[in-house]
Structures are given as structure tokens and as C-alpha cells.
Structure 1
Amino acid sequence: MIDYTNFYASIQHIPALRPWLAQLPEQIAASLSPERWGDLPDWRAAFDALPDISPSAVELREKVRIGSAADASPEQLQALEKQLRKLHPWRKGPWEIFDLFIDTEWRSDWKWERVLPHLESLENRLVLDVGCGNGYHCWRQFGAGARRVIGIDPSAKYVAQFYALKKYLGWEQPVDLLPLGIEALPPKLHAFDTTFSMGVLYHRRSPMDHLRELRDTLRPGGQLLLETLVIDGEPGDCLVPKDRYAKMRNVWFIPSTATLESWLRKCGFENPRTVDVGTTNLGEQRRTDWMRFESLADFLDPESPDKTAEGHPAPKRAVLVANAP
């Protein structure tokens, strides 16, 4: 299903990434082990059954749109939808593929529109996207001019979704998703021009360690784009949920924006600043035909939707930017 040979060859030409090659193939093989992912054979079978269709055009700058229905026969379009649905749930998107609309749980395009105005130009940049899910934002980063984008996410399901779509977006495109977490990167790599961490920090037991890991991915002066849950509050304020937050077990720390800016400074980042804050609404995160599990409406108190089911403040997300020293 996934052949990283071309990826390995390409990063031979990026001096800062070349040392990673000594361990990368072994890391990837271990992460995609059938012993670890019991459903992996089913995802491979879905990938192998995808029809061969050549898109007449690909759009990545304004949206992710692949070809049109005129590029395929009705039988091919039926087979395409059947196999892509076997990779349920689809959480990040949306994707338009041969006029099939994959209506994902998250309107990730809305997040991208909030983020993009605050980015230094991605033109010709080497980009890392940490915890990228199925790679939706990786393609938007490439569409914005990045010369190469590497996404990392430890979920093999997301990797399967990514490569199912890359089959049509183009194997030759310099955008790849590795089935790894940030801890798999060599320490003090200092390789990337821009690093994204969106929707990851609150899942880390040690937010300071995560921020330092992010800093060490960046070349001197490189830009961090951080998006995460926050609370209203003063410097030093931070919510530490006793048990679950919005029905999620693995939420550890939700700081105020002032606290988060201080954490970034403490971890060595320069000029940390909050550039966007907004409450997540039911139009941006919701259950769809392509993600039929519980979603935001199920995570909130039905009598008081400004609170989670546990009584915490409802999800509010902030975008921060900072630069590596």
C-alpha cells in the first residue's frame, strides 16, 4: 500500500534530514506492523481495490479538489466511494474527489483560513506538520508554496486515508505522511523552516517537553504555528481536568493564552503571540455521513452548551505563532 522508497531518496538531498535515514525505515516498519494494527490488512485491501482514475486537474490553493466526475466511468465512481468508505471515520477535510464530497467531521478548511494570514510565506519552505491526522493541512501547505511537506501521525488509519488520496493527487508530489510521533524525530534536528502543531498540545502529558521538541525541529528563526485548546484567564491560569474533558480521556493541560505565551518564552521561543481565539461551534465539528461516531454536540452539556458534558468551559481554540531562537 505504501512505498517510501521515493521519500527516502528525496531526503537524501536535504542535508539536515539525511542523518534520520539511518533509523527511519525501521521506525516506519515497526509503526505499520500488522501486529500493532489488526485492521491493517482490511485497509490495504481497500487501497488495492481503488480504481485507476487520472484526474483532469488538481486544486490545492483554494480547496482540495481532485478531478471531476467526467474523468471516470459510473462504475469507477461507485467503486471509489465504496473503498473510501471502508476507511471510516474521516475526521479532517473536506475532500472533493471526482465530484465525490467527503464531508469530514472537522471543517479543517475553516481552520486553515484562520491560520493562513498569520503565517510567514510558505514559498519554497520545508514544512513539518505534527499530529497531522490524514494530512489535509499538508496538502494546503503544499498548495501555499511549500517545496516539501512531511506530516507525522502515529495512526495507521490516517496514513491509509492519506495514501488513498495521494494515489490521485500524485505519487510524485513532495508531500508525505509518516506513521510516527514527534518522539521518533532525532533530537535537535533543526531542519524545518515551518513546523505546525495543531490539536496536539493538550494531549501531551508534558506540554513543556512538547514545546521543546517542536523548537528543536526548527532551524534558527524558523516559525512555529501552534493551535490548541485554551481557557479564558490570566497569566498562570491553567485547567487540569480531573478526569475527562469533552469526553476525551487524554486531555492534560488547557492553559490561558497568556500562560501559553509564557510557556513558549520559557522554552526558548522568540516573539510568541496569540493571533486568533475562537469558540468551536457545531458547524465546524459535527457528525456526518463520513464520520458517524459522537462529535461536538455529544460532548457538550445539552442544557448549557457553553460547558462540556463534565461542566468545564466549552472548547475554545487559539492560534499562536513564535520563532525558534
Structure 2
Amino acid sequence: MNNLTRFRDLYAPYTHFDNASLWYRVFDTVMADYNDGHLDALLNILNDLPNITKKVQTDFTSDAITIGGDAEYNDIQKINAVLRQLIPWRKGPFQVFDIHIDSEWRSNLKWGRLKDKISPLNDRKVLDVGSNNGYYGWRMRGAGAAQVIGIDPSVLAVIQHFAINHIIRDYSHVIFPFKMEDIPPRLEYFDTVFSMGVLYHRRGPLDHIQELYDALRIGGELVMETLVVEGGEGYSLVPPGRYARMNNVWFLPTVSTLKIWLDKIGFEDVIDIGLHATTSDEQRTTEWKPGASLVDFLDPEDPTKTIEGHPAPLRVTLRATKPNRQNRLKRYQL
């Protein structure tokens, strides 16, 4: 059995999803050209997870995604060994029995800032774009979402999710190794779409916003979080080189410019629900994510600037609604 078949087989428990065949087709298309030599090793690591036969208890509402219950000591040791082989863990935290995964990002802080400022997720079908390992998806499930589909091109992050869900066994939350542009256009399926930490990585930010718009049903809600800069309407920073040592940052708009972009694509009721400067309390080096982190990306003499001299990371979260098409047309009638 080749590695892509092994990878695809991990999705067998998720065939109850609406449009499951569509997601399989996209998987086959995207992965047809995948040639990363790490996949075999990652799948072998995943195979080392023990099967926990006793029922586990989960808590998706606490700061850490929590898995508890009775498990054999040897099984917990095996789980710990597997999870450590999947370092770095960028999003979290997770508490897996007595194993605390202290991720680079304290993602609970971002969730805490936005969870009470968006529409309730009860019984909603949710798309989490740039989901990483699924931390936010579990929080969405804890907030009542009926189904969460995450997409992220990082195969390591996807495997991390499979490792966690191997123990949880909640097949209402799945992550695929896709980018947003891989999804067929005009799905008009999801009740809520999250795009957090993605827009500035896209060469065509309005194309990304259009893709998000097309994925939502009429009346659905977009929750967008992205890097911004201070300034006036119409301005956007285009870093000439790297930004905070990232070489894939293209556009950092002002908040007012971002609102114009959303309006231009067709969103209505665009609301600013929070502006927050990233600090080392939220993003830092840990045992589970060694190496460089935020403090290394900022000017050591002036932490209000990146190492390249740009404004330090500032993030805004917006919510917006996809209107009825007829209502939208009326706005532009002469």
C-alpha cells in the first residue's frame, strides 16, 4: 500500500459528511503531485499510537483541549512518545491525560477574545481555513458546531489532528491538507467560515475573500482575523522583503482598507470585534515548539518594530455577513 493510499484511508470514518465524495476528489487532486518524503515517517509515527479501549472524557470548552479518563500507564507513555515526535506544535494547548502540550501559540487567548462576539455556533456547519492542527476546530465543537471541516496545507498539522482524534474519536471534526483555492468554487454550504492568520499569506487577498464568500450560504457569517497596520483608508503595506522573518507576507492593509475589500466582494454588516497587538505572552518558544518565536522576530532595541523595521504584528478580527443576492443588488441600483 503506497503512502497516499494510507493517508487517504485515515479519512474512512468521515464518509458520513455531506459531500464526502467531493472532499475525496479534492484530496486525490491535491495529493496527486505531493512528493514530500516526510509523509511515510509521519504515517509510521501515527501507527505507533495505542488503541484506548476505555471511554475517554473530553472537554472542548477549557483553555486546553482536554482528554481524560482511565488509560493504562504504558499507553500514556506511548502517546507521549508519539506526540513528541510530532513537534513542533504551533497551536494549542492540549491536555492529553497527564501530557500537557504547551504550544507556541496560546490559542485560547485568541478564542477568548472572539467567542462571545460572533454568532452562536450551535448546530452550524463550519469551515476553518488555515486550521493548523485543529485546536480552534475543537473549540468550535465545544461551542456547539455540528460539523467542522478544517483545511491546512501543512501535512504535519493534519497528522497532529489525526493523532489527537485517534484518542477522542469525534468524527464531526476533520482536517484536509488543502488550501482554500483548492476547494471548488461557489459551494454556498457553510454557516460560518473562519479565516484566521491566512489573508496576509495570499498574493491575491481579494481572491481569498471571494473564495470565502463563495463557500458561505446566504446569511452565513465570515470571521476573519489578519495582520493589519495603522493608517488611512486605501493604504496597505506591501513588505519589500520579509516581514517578521516570514517571506510569504504580501499585503497588510489598514482596518478601513480591509473593510473596503470585504464590502467590494459583497459582504455586509462588517463589524470590527477586536484589535490586538501580538505579545510574547501569547506567542513564545516552548518545550513543544523549540527554536525562534516572536521575540526573535522583533527589533531587540524597539519591540514596536519587526527585525526588518516594519510595524510589529497587530491583528484585527472582523465579522461580516453574506447577504441575500437580491438585497445586495438593490444597493447598486441607479
Q: Is the 8 A contact 2:30 2:182 kept in 1?
A: no
- 1:293 positional shift: 2.3
Distance 2:240 2:83 in 1: 38
- 1:183 counterpart SS class: helix
Distance 1:232 1:198 in 2: 19
| RMSD across aligned positions (CA) | 1.6
Match of 1:279 among 277, 280, 287: 277
Structure 1: segments with no counterpart, 5+ residues:
12-17
- 1:5 positional shift: 2.8
Could you say which residue in structure 2 is the equivalent of 1:85? Answer: 84
- 2:112 counterpart SS class: helix
Q: Is the 8 A contact 1:229 1:315 kept in 2?
A: yes
Distance 2:99 2:32 in 1: 31
2:273 aligned with 1:241, yes or no? no
- 1:10 counterpart SS class: coil
- 1:53-68 pair list within 5 angstroms: 53=52, 54-63=54-63, 64-68=65-69
- 1:73 positional shift: 2.9
- 1:36 positional shift: 1.9
Q: Is the 8 A contact 2:13 2:171 kept in 1?
A: no
Distance 2:56 2:178 in 1: 33
Q: C-alpha deviations, 1:133-174, integer Å up to 9, x for none?
A: 01110111011001111001111111100000001111x431
Could you say which residue in structure 1 is the equivalent of 2:137? Answer: 138
- 1:34 positional shift: 9.1
Q: Is the 8 A contact 2:26 2:183 kept in 1?
A: no
* Paired residues, number: 314
Residue type matched to 2:152 in 1?
D
- 1:160 counterpart SS class: helix
Q: Is the 8 A contact 1:31 1:154 kept in 2?
A: no
2:4 aligned with 1:5, yes or no? no
Distance 1:128 1:72 in 2: 32
- Segment drifting more, 288-297 vs 75-84: 75-84
Distance 2:192 2:238 in 1: 29
Change (3 A) 1:183 1:310: same
Structure 1 residue ranges, 4+ long, deviating more than 6 angstroms after superposition: none
TM-score (ref. length: structure 1): 0.93
Match of 1:196 among 194, 197, 213: 194
- 1:186 positional shift: 1.4
- 1:1-325 pair list within 5 angstroms: 2-11=9-18, 18=19, 21-22=21-22, 24-32=23-31, 35-53=34-52, 54-63=54-63, 64-68=65-69, 71-170=70-169, 172-325=170-323
Distance 1:32 1:293 in 2: 29
Structure 2: segments with no counterpart, 5+ residues:
1-6, 324-334
- 1:61 positional shift: 1.7
Distance 2:273 2:319 in 1: 7
- 1:33 positional shift: 6.0
Distance 1:269 1:39 in 2: 40
Q: Is the 8 A contact 1:34 1:40 kept in 2?
A: no
Identity %: 44
